[in-house]
Structure 1
Amino acid sequence: MRRPTALSRLVLTVLALALPFTAPFEAAAADRITGEPFATRSEVYAPHAMAATSHPLATQIALDVMKDGGSAVDAAIAANAALGLMEPTGNGIGGDLFAIVWDPKTGKLHGYNGSGRSPKSLTLDEFRRRGLAAVPPHGPLPVSVPGTVDGWFALHGRFGRRPMAENLAPAIRYAREGHPVHQTIAYYWDRSVPVLSKWPGFAEQFTVDDGRGGRRAPRTGEMWRNPNLADTLQQIADGGRDAFYKGGIARTIDAYFKASDGFLSYEDLASHEGEWVEPVSTNYRGYDVWELPPNGQGIAALQILNILEGYDLKGYGFGSPEHVHLFTEAKKLAFADRAASYADPDHYRTPVERLVSKAYAAERRRLISMDRAMKAAEPGVIPQLNEGDTIYLTVADPDGMMVSLIQSNYRGMGSGMAPPGLGFILQDRGEQFVLKEGHPNSYAPGKRPFHTIIPAFVTKDGKPWLSFGVMGGAMQPQGHAQILINMIDFGMNLQEAGDAPRIQHDGSTEPAGQNIAMADGGELDLETGFPYATVRELMRRGHSVRFAHGPYGGYQAIMVNPEGGYVGASESRKDGQAAGY
């Protein structure tokens, strides 16, 4: 992320204070005949099924699977497998997976936590011996067990209709025959190569010959093939989940880490199990918003919404100083609890019921001043210890099943650790641990780290209304809340709600690293499109406003059309597509 210089900050501040106040977005809708000022395109409507992913080819794969009789879960697995090939900058079978599934037969939501645990042989003392104050972002130390493949088979075992070999076949074919790399993916791939090429197996498997004796990332439109990944996926198609966790793939990973000063072992892989979990909800102005409980950060979105429900956001208007200020302050309060209390439930019992209650939101709301930005935010619940980059996709099938699925290697392309001949990179999710004792998210062997990736779902009067997600680290709960505020408070349609300029607050105390507390109010990133008068007023209230390129997330969504079928929307900031039939 490129930060502004001290001079550019001074110029920005002077200009902001000098400009007169004007009504936000006075003529924003003039260029669009339908009247939605922010929508980059129309919503997608389809009578039978819908898929929205961050890559058009993956979207088409999902639709093909459903046309052939597959369920939404079959389609989501097929699309996810393809995205691991086509968008390795955000996901792959070396990462973790979370999902929420609406089952029309039972009229219930089902949650799945497919996060892996830290190596059993790696201890907190080992980090100390190496003189580390935080888990490094790359290399062998941040690698935890990848939970994606297990997640696929768990979801398929309950909701799949087609053989898994058929679900994986499109990704295998594209891996062997090749596909053209899309623009945004090529951009992030190029940024990752200089950082990750030092780790064994990465350059050999994720770069191409530059013609001058060096290696580079594939470019936009260039055909990319990954025969190693094709072979790995074929092994999984033939041998099931155990081919990954207990077969030759696991043994290759084990040998690779032993040779690379690492700790992930065959035993770690063989003992892995994900788990079905109950989604957690709050009601926001008549809509039940569902997230998964920790070790993920989903309930932060619920906390933000609960706090904001006490304000007349509709009356203030989108892009007003009050809208942005209140959202930012609510985020700070929710993230203070996130840093203090979100952790592996096997090691720490997060007080979820209290954190998402309306009474607790009322307590926290009293800490917000309309006139001044808070510089520090303390958690409202003090932990009592006891003996704990990304892709998002959503699919809906003709029978009414809907899947909200998110999957990630964490930091872009992950740790850089790419075992020979396997065609994928292991995640660096372990970077999210805290290397000090006494914290709920403190590192321990065999423990799940705090997780950023979160799927979301909304029901209305007990029926499915919206399956959606916004990928992007700490942006995710902020993005979830903003999408719903845009739709429910500001009356935007599904596409416009995602395309409207976004708010991102950065600098809150994190549940990871050295866990340094926010003391300066953090930084407020405003995407292009907010009125300058709003920027000026936010500065007067004490916010530190900056410009940032790219940290605003990636949105996909499917909504139930009350007239029949589905409505789809896809992120304008990514390479994706919403489509149906």
Structure 2
Amino acid sequence: MGQVSYFSPSFSQLFPNAAISSIDPLASQAAVDLLRRGGSAIDAAIAANAVLAVTAPDQCGLGGDLVALVYSPPSSRGSAEVQSLQAIGSSGTGASAESLRADGHSSIPRSSLHALTVPGAVDGWLALHHKFGKLRLDQVLEAAIGYASNGFPASNRLRRNFEQIRNLASGVELANFLNPTSSSFPMVRRPGIARTLLAISKLGREGFYAGEFGAELMKLSEGVFRPDDLAEPIARFTTPLKATIFGHILATNPAPSAGFLTLGALAALDGVPTEVGDVHWYADLINAFRTTGWMRGYHHDKVELSTVLANTISPATPLTRTVATGPDTTAITAVDANGLGIVLVQSNGHAFGSRLATPDTNIFIHDRGAVGFNLIAGDANELKPRSRPRHTLAPVVAQTPDGHLALLAGTMGADRQPSILAQVITAALRDGADPNDALVQPRFAFSSPTTSELSGFDTYDSDQLPILTCEGHLPKPVIDALEKRFGPVQSTPAFAPDAGVAHLTLRRFNNWMIASDPRSEAAGTAGF
């Protein structure tokens, strides 16, 4: 069966100097403005993320976590380098699995106070800016403060997702502006976010964790958080995990991030040539994830994953069931004229996170505690005080053998992130697809056979095998062939956001080549 064909609703773009990709044109434009003013790729990524914290509270925000990979090009000071930044907050001192079990819970409720972990995103911004920023922090946050103060047009996505919190106290502020039945695009103002961003721009960490937001979070948590929990620095620069795959050096964040699952599956595909889109292409990828399923047992904080990746991955390795953890996350890729590059992934966990928000600053707090911890006594991911939850965020950077930047990739998608990125990276690096072709390629994913309020993060909770799903624009003959090999396959709508909104930047023809994922309603790719 040869390569399949299907309609491509988008195209790749080439930029000679700098490029940015995000889910929102407002965020990408703010980033490009900074790049033109001499800002670094890191300034641009932070600016884009800050705008998204205002305009896309369902996707990300100041109340979530952040991970990033930064590529520094060769210079007189040394060779090229990839650095990992993890801004993953810990559970509070008052977090208690015992109290939840005593109340009859078998999992951590999404809106439980014990689902909250200290938000790490702002600490991550500050650490990245301190090390790689070229413009002042107030310049970097200027656009976001402007949109929060003066208003921004609400997207259709935000109006639809608002239905999830319409009747909750946390939806009061947005309820003043959003009307999903209206054909107009209401202007939304978020004065609490504006005050918070302004405080960060002036006071840095103190303006957030020890400021108005910090005081509100302490009160909201009802003792789960103590002052020391918020005072402890969160962001950590760490050595990334690396593996040589497809003739490139691939890097990702170490534990508790999930990038090692991506590298493990890609390693199983190295040296297995198939034509992109062919049924064997999908079968090999699906099999790679099934035969590396044992790696999920190592997905927790403080585990040494380099030894896991170094193990020989045998196609005969059986898939084992290990207890694992409408998700929403956003990824941003940026490169500047000096060759500095970043892929930043920032998340609330689920849409609007825990659905709990600080009352005056109106910042939604993520639910990483609910989806990253469990209540199984003695388990490596059991909820404990001052512990970091396992994370689904899994960006990847690829270098050529001589160290030059070849690829930046990140996505949303909860448990699906490793499989989404493996498909995109395989198409781009192994099979030579341009960003658009790699992104529009029909995707498969694994879904939970059961339903719960932790949907998207519960794929591997059940004793049953996950359900294999494929996008609707995958031709039926390919789906039929996959069903003969793997059993029933569920079909999902073509180009639906549930298949993941990925961001991909490649170095091609001595230019930066990027494309928008058609699964995003209002993607923003820009550059010059």
Q: C-alpha distance in 2, partners of 1:517/1:475?
A: 14
**Is residue 186–residue 220 contact of structure 1 (8 Å, CA) maintained in 2?**
no
Matched, 1:193 2:165: yes
**Is residue 501–residue 530 contact of structure 1 (8 Å, CA) maintained in 2?**
yes
Match of 1:445 among 370, 382, 385: 385
Q: C-alpha distance in 1, partners of 2:230/2:270?
A: 44
Indicate the residue corresponding to 2:369 in structure 1: 430
Q: C-alpha distance in 1, partners of 2:360/2:307?
A: 48
Q: Which has the larger radius of gyration?
A: 1
Report the CA distance between 1:544 and its aligned residue: 2.2
**Is residue 134–residue 514 contact of structure 1 (8 Å, CA) maintained in 2?**
no
Match of 2:211 among 244, 247, 250: 247
**Is residue 507–residue 523 contact of structure 1 (8 Å, CA) maintained in 2?**
yes
Q: C-alpha distance in 2, partners of 1:237/1:177?
A: 18
SS state at 1:495 partner: helix
Change (3 A) 1:169 1:219: farther
Indicate the residue corresponding to 1:522 in structure 2: 466
SS state at 1:457 partner: strand
Indicate the residue corresponding to 2:106 in structure 1: 133
Indicate the residue corresponding to 1:385 in structure 2: none
Report the CA distance between 1:187 and its aligned residue: 2.8
SS state at 2:411 partner: strand
Indicate the residue corresponding to 1:412 in structure 2: 351
SS state at 2:90 partner: coil
Indicate the residue corresponding to 1:7 in structure 2: none
**Is residue 196–residue 207 contact of structure 2 (8 Å, CA) maintained in 1?**
no
**Is residue 321–residue 463 contact of structure 2 (8 Å, CA) maintained in 1?**
no
Match of 1:573 among 511, 519, 522: 519
Change (3 A) 1:326 1:157: same
Match of 1:312 among 256, 273, 285: 273
Match of 1:268 among 229, 248, 254: 229
Match of 1:81 among 40, 47, 50: 50
Change (3 A) 1:238 1:217: farther
Report the CA distance between 1:59 and its aligned residue: 0.5
Report the CA distance between 1:560 and its aligned residue: 2.1
Q: C-alpha distance in 2, partners of 1:428/1:294?
A: 19
Q: C-alpha distance in 1, partners of 2:192/2:111?
A: 22
Q: C-alpha distance in 1, partners of 2:135/2:177?
A: 39
Matched, 1:353 2:306: yes
Match of 2:483 among 535, 539, 546: 539
Report the CA distance between 1:515 and its aligned residue: 9.5
- Greater CA drift, 569-578 or 512-521: 512-521
Report the CA distance between 1:474 and its aligned residue: 1.2
Q: C-alpha distance in 1, partners of 2:485/2:111?
A: 39
Q: C-alpha distance in 1, partners of 2:72/2:460?
A: 42
Q: C-alpha distance in 2, partners of 1:220/1:299?
A: 44
Indicate the residue corresponding to 1:552 in structure 2: 499
Task: Output one character per residue of 1:13-39: Cα deviation in whole Å (capped at 9) or x when no partner.
Answer: xxxxxxxxx7563xx3xxxxxxxx554
Change (3 A) 1:516 1:63: closer
1:119-198 equivalent positions in 2, closer than 5 A: 119-190=92-163, 192-194=164-166, 197-198=167-168
Change (3 A) 1:470 1:220: farther
Match of 1:402 among 341, 352, 368: 341
Report the CA distance between 1:503 and its aligned residue: 0.9
Match of 1:367 among 298, 305, 317: 317
Report the CA distance between 1:154 and its aligned residue: 0.4
Change (3 A) 1:423 1:518: closer
Task: Output one character per residue of 1:179-236: Cα deviation in whole Å (capped at 9) or x when no partner.
Answer: 112233333333x225xx43x4x122232267xxxx8798772211111111111111
Change (3 A) 1:410 1:464: same
Report the CA distance between 1:553 and its aligned residue: 0.6
Match of 2:406 among 458, 465, 477: 465
- Greater CA drift, 274-283 or 400-409: 274-283
Indicate the residue corresponding to 1:327 in structure 2: 285
Change (3 A) 1:128 1:521: closer
Report the CA distance between 1:312 and its aligned residue: 2.8
Q: C-alpha distance in 1, partners of 2:365/2:183?
A: 23
Q: C-alpha distance in 2, partners of 1:502/1:515?
A: 17
Q: C-alpha distance in 2, partners of 1:56/1:528?
A: 27
Q: C-alpha distance in 2, partners of 1:218/1:154?
A: 41
Q: C-alpha distance in 1, partners of 2:425/2:7?
A: 15
Change (3 A) 1:220 1:403: farther
Indicate the residue corresponding to 2:185 in structure 1: 221
Report the CA distance between 1:249 and its aligned residue: 2.4
SS state at 2:141 partner: helix
Q: C-alpha distance in 1, partners of 2:444/2:472?
A: 10
Q: C-alpha distance in 2, partners of 1:483/1:218?
A: 37
**Is residue 319–residue 530 contact of structure 1 (8 Å, CA) maintained in 2?**
no
Matched, 1:55 2:19: no
Change (3 A) 1:416 1:518: closer
Q: C-alpha distance in 2, partners of 1:263/1:219?
A: 42
Matched, 1:341 2:302: no
* Corresponding pairs, count: 512
1:87-98 equivalent positions in 2, closer than 5 A: 87-98=56-67
- Greater CA drift, 134-143 or 391-400: 134-143
Q: C-alpha distance in 2, partners of 1:448/1:101?
A: 22
Matched, 1:479 2:423: no
Report the CA distance between 1:475 and its aligned residue: 1.5
Aligned-residue CA RMSD (Å): 2.6
Indicate the residue corresponding to 1:203 in structure 2: 171
TM-score (norm 2): 0.91
> Percent identity, aligned pairs only?
26
**Is residue 343–residue 410 contact of structure 2 (8 Å, CA) maintained in 1?**
yes
Report the CA distance between 1:45 and its aligned residue: 1.2
Change (3 A) 1:535 1:560: closer
Point out where structure 1 has 5 or more consecutive residues left out of the alignment. Answer: 1-21, 29-36, 369-375, 383-388
Change (3 A) 1:209 1:163: closer
Indicate the residue corresponding to 1:17 in structure 2: none
**Is residue 449–residue 459 contact of structure 2 (8 Å, CA) maintained in 1?**
no
1:375-394 equivalent positions in 2, closer than 5 A: 377=320, 389-394=328-333
Report the CA distance between 1:237 and its aligned residue: 1.1
TM-score (norm 1): 0.83
Task: Output one character per residue of 1:330-384: Cα deviation in whole Å (capped at 9) or x when no partner.
Answer: 213334322x111111xxx24x123212x421x3x1237xxxxxxx5357xx9xx
Q: C-alpha distance in 2, partners of 1:413/1:354?
A: 36
Q: C-alpha distance in 2, partners of 1:173/1:116?
A: 28
